[in-house]
């Protein structure tokens, strides 16, 4: 069931990439689109059983893309104001939340139960739940911008499905 959920999470993630690429100002969002494609590629590799690229390398790639987006957002904000950040920060945080989920999903020996040393893999659900909530709030606040509302909704949904796959 977990593998099916993870595989199903590819659909909303792919829709989100398409929404991002089709949104106005897509040329300025090239870094976001690339980071999102890396995320979908990582999810695809892990969902299909892995093997092409080790999960740890996908996690590192997601963190690097997220950091690059955060730096880009900071520079854009400095040059063009707060509105210039757009969806960059949401995409960057999505990569940071997805990296450990990819890592956990890419390892067959992971348990989701905690033990006396900490929360275990289930502790990854805390940032995932925060990201999912943030995504829902952004999707509801975007007014008439359907593509951006759909982008946030699909990113939150794919994260929710990956997190649910950990529990099954």
Q: Nearest to residue 39, comparing CAs of 8, 73, 16, 68?
A: 16
DSSP states of 107-130 as a string? -TT---S-BTTB-GGGGGHHHHHH
Rounded to an integer, the average pLDDT of 18-43 is 83
Q: What is the pTM of this model?
A: 0.83
pLDDT digits (tens, 9 = 90+) for 54-82: 999 999 999 999 999 888 777 766 666 55
> How high is the pLDDT of residue 59?
94
Helix (H, G, I), strand (E, B) or coil at 1: coil
Tokens 């593998």 found at: 3
pLDDT digits (tens, 9 = 90+) for 84-95: 456 788 899 999
Helix or strand (DSSP H, E) at 136: helix 125-141
Return the structure tokens found at 56.
Answer: 């740890």
> How high is the pLDDT of residue 115?
44
Rounded to an integer, the average pLDDT of 5-27 is 84
Tokens 């979908």 found at: 40
DSSP label of 145:
-
Question: From CA 1, how far away is CA 60, in angstroms rounded?
Answer: 27
Q: What is the mean pLDDT of the chain?
A: 82
Question: From CA 15, how far away is CA 76, in angstroms rounded?
Answer: 26
> How high is the pLDDT of residue 86?
65
Residue 106 has pLDDT above 50, yes or no: yes
> How high is the pLDDT of residue 112?
46
């Amino acid at each position: 069931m977990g593998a099916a959920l993870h595989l199903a999470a590819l659909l909303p993630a792919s829709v989100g990439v398409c929404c991002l690429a089709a949104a106005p100002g897509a040329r300025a969002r090239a870094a976001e689109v690339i980071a999102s494609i890396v995320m979908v590629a990582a999810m695809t590799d892990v969902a299909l059983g892995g093997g092409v690229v080790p999960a740890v390398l996908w996690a590192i790639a997601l963190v690097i893309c997220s950091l690059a987006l955060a730096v880009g957002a900071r520079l854009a904000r400095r040059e063009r104001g707060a509105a210039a950040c757009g969806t960059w920060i949401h995409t960057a945080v999505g990569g940071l939340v997805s990296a450990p989920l990819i890592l956990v999903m890419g390892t067959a020996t992971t348990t989701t139960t905690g033990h006396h040393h900490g929360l275990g893999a289930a502790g990854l659900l805390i940032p995932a739940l925060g990201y999912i909530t943030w995504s829902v709030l952004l999707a509801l606040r975007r007014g008439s911008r359907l593509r951006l509302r759909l982008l946030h909704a699909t990113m939150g949904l794919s994260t929710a499905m990956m997190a649910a796959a950990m529990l099954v």
